[in-house]
């Protein structure tokens, strides 16, 4: 297993990084990443993952491109309005990096199909804006023991965390949010979101996927990154495992 001359040139700026190198680039090429939601967070994430040479992207979204998406979903253009997002995003990946395989899963993820939709993924990136969907993604990723990179954005704020709740001392998504299915959902449509904030959080989510695959730097699981664009501030806080968590509590193996 080696990198071709074209790959050595395309990924030269990765390969020169001591923490990535040729070995890391080959790990990226061998990796399969599921991206749930090709929206404001998914758009930049898909572009950076494709550019980075991730071997396969599984794109999961049942929506079509809407004119009001273009303010932040920069993977799409005006000609894509009305097109299924997974089709338009797959075409964009082909333009960016034809070596990346795209598996389109044009479906609404729920608790019943989540395991099937993310099957085979080495990392799951969740950029959806529905709490119900987030719980379903998180439960499926935990059961499959696949790292979950979870990014969220609203107005001028963003949150990012990586979950590997099957590991001792590492929280799962439910340790963080609880499991109240009746929590009110505030969508971007109602609350608004600064387009560039979605770009920031989606790009950070892509970075965490690349970290999960290649293993550079410190482990990000067990922490929560909070971004406040109004205050010009990034903060990181610890995210403890909940010993009473019904999903992962007591999972010490
Ligand atoms: Zn938990």
When pLDDT is averaged across residues 63-87 and rounded to a whole number, the result is: 98
How many residues does the structure list for the chain?
A: 253
193 CA from centroid of ligand 1 (Å)? 29
Average pLDDT of 233-249?
Answer: 94
Neighbouring residues of the ion ligand 1, judged by CB less than 5 Å: 165, 172, 174-175, 245, 247-248
Identify the band that residue 253 occupies on the pLDDT scale cut at 50, 70 and 90.
very low
Separation of alpha carbons 185 and 241, rounded Å: 24
| Cβ atoms < 10 Å from Cβ of 51 | 16
Identify the band that residue 117 occupies on the pLDDT scale cut at 50, 70 and 90: very high
User: How many percent of the chain have pLDDT more than 70?
Assistant: 95
CA 174 to ligand 1 centroid distance, Å = 5
Reduced to 3 states (helix: H, G, I; strand: E, B; else coil), residue 93 is: helix
Say how far apart CA 108 and CA 36 lie, in whole Å. Answer: 10
Domains of the chain (ranges; CATH) run: 31-238 (3.40.50.720)
- Closest Cα to residue 248, out of 164, 153, 128, 182? 164
How far apart are alpha carbons 16 and 12 in whole angstroms? 6
HSE at residue 179, side-chain half, CA atoms within 13 A, is 12
The helix-helix angle for 195-214 and 42-51 (nearest 10°) equals: 40
pLDDT at 250 over 60: no
Average pLDDT value over all residues in the chain: 95
| CA–CA dist 75, 172 (Å, integer) | 30
CA of 164 to the centre of ligand 1 (A): 9
| 172, 175, 188, 248: the active-site residue | 188
pLDDT grade, residue 1 (50/70/90)? Answer: confident
**CA nearest neighbour of 181 among 113, 116, 132, 242:** 132
How far is residue 235 from each of residues 15, 65, 156, 176, 229, measured CA to CA in Å? 30, 33, 14, 16, 11
pLDDT at 252 over 60: no
pLDDT for 185 equals: 65
In this predicted structure, the answer to whether residue 87 has a pLDDT above a threshold of 50 is yes
Residue pLDDT, tens place only, 141-199: 999 999 999 999 999 999 999 999 999 999 999 999 986 666 666 677 788 999 999 99
Whether residue 188 lies in the annotated active site = yes
- How far, in Å, CA of 137 to CA of 22, rounded? 32
Contacts of 169 (CB under 8 A, 6+ apart): 222, 241
- Give the residue-averaged pLDDT of 94-105: 98
Distance 245 CA to ligand 1 centre (A): 5
Query: Pairing relation of β-strands 32-36 and 123-126?
Result: parallel
* Cα of 170 from ligand 1 centre, angstroms: 8
């Amino acid at each position: 297993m080696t990198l071709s001359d074209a790959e050595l040139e395309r990924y030269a700026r990765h390969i020169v990084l001591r923490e990535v190198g040729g070995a890391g680039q080959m790990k990226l090429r061998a990796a399969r990443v599921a991206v749930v939601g090709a929206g404001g967070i998914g758009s930049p994430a898909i572009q950076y993952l494709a550019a980075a040479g991730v071997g396969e992207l599984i794109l999961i979204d049942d929506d079509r491109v809407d004119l009001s998406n273009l303010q932040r979903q920069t993977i799409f253009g005006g000609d894509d309005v009305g097109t299924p997002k997974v089709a338009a995003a797959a075409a964009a990946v082909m333009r960016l990096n034809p070596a990346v395989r795209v598996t389109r899963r044009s479906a609404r993820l729920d608790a019943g199909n989540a395991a099937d939709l993310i099957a085979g993924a080495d990392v799951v990136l969740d950029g959806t804006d529905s709490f119900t969907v987030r719980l379903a993604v998180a439960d499926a990723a935990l059961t499959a023991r696949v790292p979950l990179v979870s990014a969220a954005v609203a107005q001028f704020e963003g949150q990012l965390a990586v979950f590997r709740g099957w590991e001792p001392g590492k929280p799962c998504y439910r340790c963080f949010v609880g499991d109240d299915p009746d929590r009110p959902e505030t969508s971007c449509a109602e609350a608004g979101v600064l387009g560039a904030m979605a770009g920031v959080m989606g790009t950070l989510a892509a970075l965490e996927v690349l970290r999960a695959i290649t293993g550079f730097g410190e482990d990000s699981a067990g922490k929560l990154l909070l971004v406040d664009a109004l205050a010009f501030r990034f903060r990181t806080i610890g995210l403890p495992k909940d010993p009473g968590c019904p999903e992962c509590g007591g999972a010490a193996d």
